[in-house]
Amino acid sequence: MTALTRTDRLGFLEGELKDLYEQGFVWRPRILEGEQRARARFDGQEVVNLSSNNYLGLTNHPRLRESAKRAIDRYGAGAGAVRPIAGTMTLHRELEEKLARFKGVEATLVFQSGFAANLGAIQTLMGKGDAIYSEELNHGSIIDGCRLSGSEILRWPHRNADALRRLCKESRQKYRRALLVTDAVFSMDGDIAPLKELASIAEEFDLIFMVDDAHASGVLGRGGRGSADHFGLHGRVDLQMGTLSKALGAMGGYIAGSKNLIEFLIQKARPWLLSTAHPPAVVAAAIASVEILESPEGERLVAKLWENANYFKQELKKLGFNTGASETPITPVIVGSSQNAKELARRLFAEGVFAQEIVFPMVAREKARVRTIVTAMHTKEDLDFALNAFKKVGKELELM
């Protein structure tokens, strides 16, 4: 080979991709044409949208739009610096103060995303010689944060507080500090962690207690204040991670907790320190979201979300579908094989219903499913339309 021969140093990717395709699941993102709404247009087709996390319809709320536009006029399109140096604007502080009041905590710190909040907080707080008790179905951003921390990771089985207690009994004394971390609402199953029991275990074994409220922000608790509020655990959860990207309709994540916790993250959390601050429009939209949630309108939206969620889940069950242990607006329709899930999703889309198939390795091989997410914006007509499609296709595929 002469020096001038061009070699494709990425040639191996062809083989890697081939392996991926043969394993059976590849992402081919559908393209949303227009707004993220209950009825939306994906890949040129009008569908009832059961795939977004826009739980309260806030992504297109007039107040968020207006606030974002005003912020651009007043503050420009970008922040132009990282938060610790010159990128902290009055808007960023206003959002953090509003969030702290909303959550009933001393302080909050906003990160660029929920992913960055989990990664930054866990990696900063924990280190070598520490233990992290991590629930087996925790979100990837928690898992990556655990890995980056260099701590020992001890996994415990899904929602099994007894197994966690046993694990703590046999292992806790081997470590300096320890963190207990769990999703509040699990994104693939729509079930809820037993947070009361977990809070007691954290107290019994001296574990820092962290809860990921990505799918609980704007969904659980009074006016969507989250899982700690829902379970009456104020003061017993050390780190509440929340997102501004899903129900709150904007973008970002935050950690809510004590003054010292937030001050420590400001000094040390790498995604916050090293990546540029949110643009003003995003921050202003998030502020408007929190204001809506604190108002009677917010309470109405959350109530409507739950009314829709309960109706849709109950009707799916009546049709004879397996919806697992779901208790939230996320309802899986568990159909067994990946093939079944893919075929169900494909035919539903053809009938005008967009619900994402979720297959191995996202869930266990024999628990492939189509995941539905309802929002406050769906009308009864939208939900009945979707239920009819489920009934028709479910019968054709003999899934009930």
Ligand X SMILES: *Cc1c(COP(=O)(O)O)cnc(C)c1O
Task: List contacts with ligand X (CB under 6 A).
Answer: 113-115, 118, 139, 141, 183, 187, 212, 214-215, 243, 245, 253
Q: Which of 173, 129, 128, 182 is nearest to 155 (CA)?
A: 182
Task: Supply the angle between the helices 380-396 and 296-318 in degrees, to the nearest 10.
Answer: 20
In the complex with ligand X, the residue whose CB is nearer, 40 or 214, is 214
Instruction: State which residue, 231 or 385, has the beta carbon closest to ligand X.
Output: 231
Instruction: Kindly name the residue from 61, 98, 103, 215 that is annotated as catalytic.
Output: 215
Nearer Cβ to ligand X, position 109 or 389?
109
**CA atoms within 13 A of residue 165's CA, in its CB half-sphere:** 11
Alpha helices of the chain — where are they, by DSSP H?
Answer: 12-23, 62-75, 90-103, 114-125, 140-149, 161-171, 195-204, 227-230, 259-268, 270-274, 280-293, 296-318, 338-350, 380-396
**What φ, ψ does residue 181 adopt, rounded to 5°?**
-135, 135
Q: Are 364 and 43 in contact (CB under 8 A)?
A: no
Secondary structure of residue 233 in the 3-state scheme: coil
Quick one: 373 or 393, whose CB is closer to ligand X?
373
- At closest approach, how far in Å is the CB of 212 from ligand X? 5
30 with 43: CB under 8 angstroms? yes
Active-site option among 139, 230, 246, 278 = 246
User: What span, in angstroms and rounded, lies between the C-alpha atoms of 322 and 331?
Assistant: 10
- Given the complex with ligand X, which of 221 and 253 has the nearer CB atom? 253
Residue placing its CB nearer to ligand X in the complex, 141 or 340: 141
Rounded to the nearest angstrom, the gap between the alpha carbon of residue 207 and the centroid of all alpha carbons in its chain is 23
Catalytic residue among 52, 67, 113, 187: 187
Minimum CB distance to ligand X, residue 326 (Å): 15
User: To the nearest whole angstrom, how small is the minimum distance from the Cβ of residue 142 to ligand X?
Assistant: 7
**Separation of alpha carbons 292 and 123, rounded Å:** 33
Least separation in angstroms between residue 373's CB and ligand X is 11
Distance CA 295, CA 275 (A): 33
Measured between its terminal Cα atoms, the distance across the chain in Å is 61
Q: How far is the CB of 246 from ligand X (least distance, A)?
A: 6
Nearer of residues 59 and 245 to ligand X, judged by Cβ:
245
HSE-CB at 260 with a 13 A cutoff on CA atoms is 2
Nearest distance from C-beta of residue 48 to ligand X, angstroms: 22
246 classed as catalytic: yes
Tokens coding 214: 């990505």
Closest residue to ligand X in the complex (CB) = 114
**Alpha carbon 318 to its chain's center:** 28
User: Considering the complex, what minimum distance in angstroms separates the CB of residue 129 from ligand X?
Assistant: 26
Q: Which residues are catalytic?
A: 187, 215, 246
